[in-house]
Structure 1
Amino acid sequence: MATNTTKKPLEDATSAIAYGERLLAADVRRNARNMHASCKLLALVLLVSCAMGAAAWAFLASLDLVSGAREQHRALFALLPPVLLATAWLYRTRGLQAGRGNNLVIDSALTGRLIHARMAFLTFFCSVATHLAGGSAGREGTAVQIGGTIASNVSHAFKLGERDHHDLMLSGISAAFGGVFGTPLAGAFFGMEMCYVGKLDYSSGLYCLIASFTGDAVSRMLGTHHALHVIGNIPSMSPRTILLVVLAAVAFGLTARLFSFSIRTIKRFYANRFRNYLVAALVGSLVLLGAYAVFDGWRYGGLSEWMVSSAFEGASSPIDPFAKLAYTALTLGAGYQGGEVTPLFGIGASMGSVLGQAVGFDPSFPAALGMIAVFGSALNVPITTIMLGIDLFGGRAAGYFVIASFVSYLVAGHRGVYPAQRIVTPKRRSLAGDEQLTVDQAIQRHREQVDQSAPSDATVAEANSADAATATVPED
């Protein structure tokens, strides 16, 4: 009896050890398969990132060349009409779906859709032409489209599955942002955050981080240089300072909202007013050229990187942010190719500088906050915004970056320059009905709610008739 009692614990222990060994062996096999798959994807991420780093260098070098030529020869602004006509014709007749720009990249990342290789070439050359002619645009849109196109075609060539395709696409986006702006931390998070509102794709995090640093390193190795700006004086975090930063962030969020609304409204105006797309392009280009000439706004053409430098020096005018916003909306709304981020940097920095000086801040401090916050709230990327501040200005003002980022993000609402973004976590309880919609669908939903709540013409007429009848009845 004692022997059986002794043997049972031994048998149980042996069984438990054997079971543990089987679990360990299964874990080792699973990790080996994961390592093999990860190494294959990592190799493709490095391939895409190196290609994007080279493309970023070529694109930035081209922009420097044409921007310098335009600044020396103002007559090049006369190219605005032919450039937009050529761009409109190319995208309509040869572009397939390339006209959707970054929204096509988002859809490809989320659905696996192939992006035709011609998109990269079209956006490269048409964006360079936009800057040659003086269109007020940026460079991030072009870079992301090139990075997305490279990643999509590499994924198709190697027949990647849905998950790996998704990770490679986000890596291409990260490589593009890091390579063009020289901000690898922000680039890593931009890839994880760009496709969504209210979600960070952690599963792609390692690939995006490697891609962004690689793209930046390759671009710098080939000769890319980036402007440096320093925050001169960071105030201590007192209740007054926090309140002023919050109020400024509200202004930044409203500015971002106005920016996206302006571009969307101008696009809709031209599309609804002119049936012939070439006539719309001609009118749009002439309106932009006329606005430059009438208001002497030539200096707001192109990237206008001088605006950031002026803001940090305290030399911004209150007109600068609104003028740059208007010219950028007229440019992108008419259909010129280019990005939104660099104009947003100038708009935010100049607005921050003006607001900050009014309350006694060193102009460089609010300029830095405005530079990152208007960008982040317009693109719905709050974590990227914080990392961008750290990339550009170091971590000493990180607390203020967090405040400015999240307040402006909430104020901007479900608007943004990327209509294809998926709303995963609504920004406020009052916007809960937008969950799982795209930004474009959410805007349409809000518009329909306003239309439904507005009284109809018949109701207004009946009310007016009743008021008139009441007015003519004599009182007892």
Structure 2
Amino acid sequence: MFNEEFKEKAIHKIDHNGHRALSVVTWTIASILVGLSVGAFASAFGLSMKWVIKTREANPWLIFFLPVGAVLITYIYKTILKVKDSGTNTVIAAIQSDERLPFRLAPLIFIATLITHLVGGSAGREGAALQMGGAIGNGIGRALKLNSTDKKTMIMCGMSAAFSALFGTPMAAAIFSMEVISVGIMHYAALVPCVISSLVARSVATHMGLGTEMYVIGTIPKFGVVNGILISVFAVICGFVSILFCMSLHKYEEFLSSKLENPYIKAVVGGCSVLVLTLLVGSQTYNSTGSAIIESCFTGATIGLKYFLLKIIFTTLTLSCGYKGGEIVPTLFIGATLGAAMGPILGMPSPLLAAVGMGALFCGVTNCPISSLLICFELFGYEPMPYFLLAVAFSYWVSGYTGLYKSQKIVYSKYKSNFINKKVE
């Protein structure tokens, strides 16, 4: 009796270990496949983005095609996708439920985002990356005949791979896709696949010539009580600005949709709004990604408070009327310019506050504190760690239950260990 029971347990253990070993091999191969395919696709997108932005900067008259670009994007999505697209929310919803994520979303968002930046829409590129990565990951999952749960992991792998390839931050990219889905919990089952996909995709991007963005802060004052208080005050401001940005995007889109039911009319109105605002400002500083302005925040350029406010307005007008892109790069622009402008006011180095602002705003709008810390370490180094740590914590706390992605769930309260399971506001 004892021998039979021992033998049965031994066989069960062998079967269990054999299944686990097979699972590890399968997931490793699948993760590498996602990293290679998404890395190549995202790198091609990143290089195309650079060409498009240079083309627009060399031909400023392209800005007058803003309404045409919005109408063209609306037409492409209406005739080819034929289902409602909610940007990155579509990918998050596909992970949370069994909603279908069409593979054709990948080439569509690729083309639409390039059009947006060619005509001068104020948007980022990570929204396209997350959607492309998610769609490709899901497509590979379907090709491998994975079940519903495993396909969701493949979507997260694709998101990590695309984020890593474009931003050059593999640590943050690996964690972001697991952290952004549900605030308060982490999908650790996807950790190894996401890490592998992220690292492979970054290697592919490097091989294809897509570099990593790095910023030099320069002087970093010693962290102490006074500086800690100043950073906390600044982080609280960042938390409120993140609420302002998210609410502006959501409320204006709702307002525009309620007043203009025809998507083509909405596209024309939105495109003309961005064009008129650009002409009133008198420059194209706030169009497209604004990466040059972010870089200038670390080189001693004079940055006023109007920069972050105008970027919020430009991005709100752009993303509410049909243009495609993302909100993260505009978020980094807002954080960097807010920090650079607040530096002299608070008596702290502007480059340091620009870096802190980028991390704090990223956390405030995504509700992802761990990813925010990692992206700070990868972009700016580890030396300013206490500043990043304090700023991210306060921004996460102050930003409340607002966020960029309406499909994101707040599973556990930010203030108590309570299960609340609500959508972001």
Offset, 1:432: 5.8
Q: What is residue 398 of structure 1 aligned with on the other side?
A: 385
Superposed, 1:240-389 pairs within 5 Å as 240-315=226-301, 316-389=303-376
Match of 2:17 among 31, 38, 41: 31
Residue 399 of structure 1 and its aligned partner are, at CA, apart by 2.4
2:64 is equivalent to residue 78 of structure 1: yes
Deviation at 1:309, TM superposition (A): 1.4
Q: Does 2:395 align with 1:412?
A: no
CA distance in 2 between counterparts of 1:139 and 1:79 reads 20
1:43 matched residue in structure 2: 29
Q: How far is the alpha carbon of 1:335 from its aligned partner?
A: 1.8
Does the CA contact (< 8 Å) of 2:285 and 2:293 recur in 1? no
Q: Deviations over 1:248-284 (max 9, x none)?
A: 1111111111111111122112111112221111111
Structure 2 residues not aligned, in runs of 5+? none
Q: Which of 212, 216, 221 is matched with 1:235 structurally? A: 221
User: Any conservation in 2 of the 1:135–1:336 contact (CA below 8 Å)?
Assistant: yes
Q: How far is 1:166 from its partner?
A: 2.1
Aligned runs of 1:135-146 on 2, under 5 Å? 135-146=121-132
Q: Shift of residue 167 of structure 1?
A: 1.6
Task: Check whether the contact 1:291–1:297 (CA below 8 A) recurs between aligned residues.
Answer: no
The equivalent residue for 2:107 is 121
The reply on whether 1:197 has 2:183 as its aligned counterpart is: yes
Are 2:402 and 1:437 equivalent residues in the alignment?
no
Q: Deviations over 1:47-83 (max 9, x none)?
A: 1111111111111111111111111111000111111
Instruction: Report if the CA contact (8 A) 1:174-1:208 is conserved.
Output: yes
Deviation at 1:25, TM superposition (A): 4.5
Name the SS of the counterpart of 1:436 in structure 2: strand
Q: Distance in 2 between matches of 1:292 and 1:126?
A: 21
Deviation at 1:23, TM superposition (A): 4.1
**Larger Rg: 1 or 2?**
1
Seen in structure 2, the aligned counterparts of structure 1 residues 308 and 20 have a Cα distance that, compared at 3 Å, is farther
- Match of 2:98? 112
- Cα distance between partner residues in 2 of 1:61 and 1:210: 23
Name the Cα RMSD after superposition: 1.8
Q: Which deviates more from structure 2 when the two are superposed, residues 369-378 or residues 136-145?
A: 369-378
Task: Name whichever of 375-384 and 154-163 sits farther off.
Answer: 154-163
Q: TM-score, normalised by structure 1?
A: 0.85
Deviation of the 1:26 alpha carbon: 2.9
Whole-angstrom CA distance in 1 between matches of 2:318 and 2:63:
13
1:21, distance to aligned residue in structure 2 (A): 6.6
The CA deviation at 1:234 is: 2.0
Query: Which is richer in helix?
Result: 1
Q: Please say if residues 165 and 202 of structure 2, whose CA atoms lie closer than 8 Å, have aligned partners that are also in contact.
A: yes
Distance 2:332 2:102 in 1: 30
Shift of 1:27: 2.6
Q: What fraction of aligned residue pairs are identical, expressed as a percent?
A: 31
Distance in 2, matches of 1:376 and 1:307, equals: 21
Secondary structure of 1:269 counterpart = helix
Alpha-carbon separation, structure 1, partners of 2:349 and 2:4? 69
Residues 19 and 403 (structure 1), Cα distance of their counterparts in 2 relative to 1, 3 Å cut: farther
Counterpart of 1:208?
A: 194
Structure 2 vs 1, CA of residues 284 and 361 (structure 1 numbering), >3 Å: closer, same or farther? same
Deviates more, 1:291-300 or 1:133-142: 291-300
Indicate how the Cα distance of structure 1 residues 420 and 222 shifts in structure 2: closer, same or farther if over 3 A, else same. Answer: same
Report how many residues are paired. Answer: 424
Gapped regions of structure 1 (runs ≥ 5): 1-13, 444-476
Alignment of 1:88-99 (within 5 A): 88-97=74-83, 99=85
When structure 1 is superposed on structure 2, of 351-360 and 385-394 the one drifting more is 351-360
Q: Can you list the C-alpha shifts for 1:283-330, whole angstroms capped at 9, x where unaligned?
A: 111111001101224121111101211211232222111111111111
